[in-house]
Amino acid sequence: MQSGKEKVAGCKVEHAEEVGDDLRHLDQPDWVKELARGGHGHDDHAGHGGHGGDHDGGFTSTRTTHHDGHEIEIKTTYHIKIDGKPYRGHLSVNDDGHLHCHAIPYETYGSALDFVRNLIDIYPDTFATKTQG
């Protein structure tokens, strides 16, 4: 049986045999996609499966818990548009009520407005500056 060290020593990023001409086809590793297809409860996040995303910038996050024998479900939906265009990124709401998103993974927000302001500031490649001078 190979040790972890032997396994790592065999990693050949430099050969990049899977890469070919582009990285675009590497949506997720084949073995990960196979797990998703096998009904193991995983899916490529690209489709936002289970998060309730739609094409109009709407995103629904569902929180469930139990309290004193009662079943609780809370659905929170955000509809966000920036310059009239729907925001299509992933959003979720933590148990403490804070907004979490993939685009700004090292921060959570009590205010969706603060989130969008930071989003625009952090991604100038996506959101060109429109400040009037």
Partner 1 sequence: MIRHNILTNDVARQNFVQGCLALKAEPLGTTRYSTYDYFAFWHHRAMNFMTPPGNSAGRNAAHAGPVFGPWHRFLLIVFENQIRRVLNEDDFRLPYWDWAADAASPAGSPLWGPDVLGGSGNPVRSGPFRDGSGFNIRLTQDGNSDDWMDVDRPLRRGFNIFGTTVPSATEVTNSINSFPFYERQPYNNDVSSFRWDLEIPLHSTVHRFVGGDMMTTTSPNDPVFFLHHCNIDRIWARWQSTYPQALYLPRQTAPDTYRFHREDDRMHTFLDINLTPADILDYTVYYDYDILN
Chain residues binding partner 1 by CB under 8 A are 3-5, 7-14, 16-23, 26-29, 31-32, 35, 40-46, 48-51, 61-63, 82, 85, 87-90, 92-96, 100, 102-107, 118-127
Residue 131 and residue 115: Cα distance in Å, rounded? 18
Residue 130 and residue 104: Cα distance in Å, rounded? 21
Answer whether 79's CB lies under 8 Å from 56's CB: yes
CA 42 to chain centre: 13
Q: How far is the CB of 37 from partner 1 (least distance, A)?
A: 13
Q: Which residue, 64 or 132, is less far from partner 1 as judged by CB?
A: 64
Q: How far is the CB of 112 from partner 1 (least distance, A)?
A: 15
Half-sphere exposure of 69 (CA within 13 A, CB side): 0
Q: Which residue, 68 or 73, is less far from partner 1 as judged by CB?
A: 73
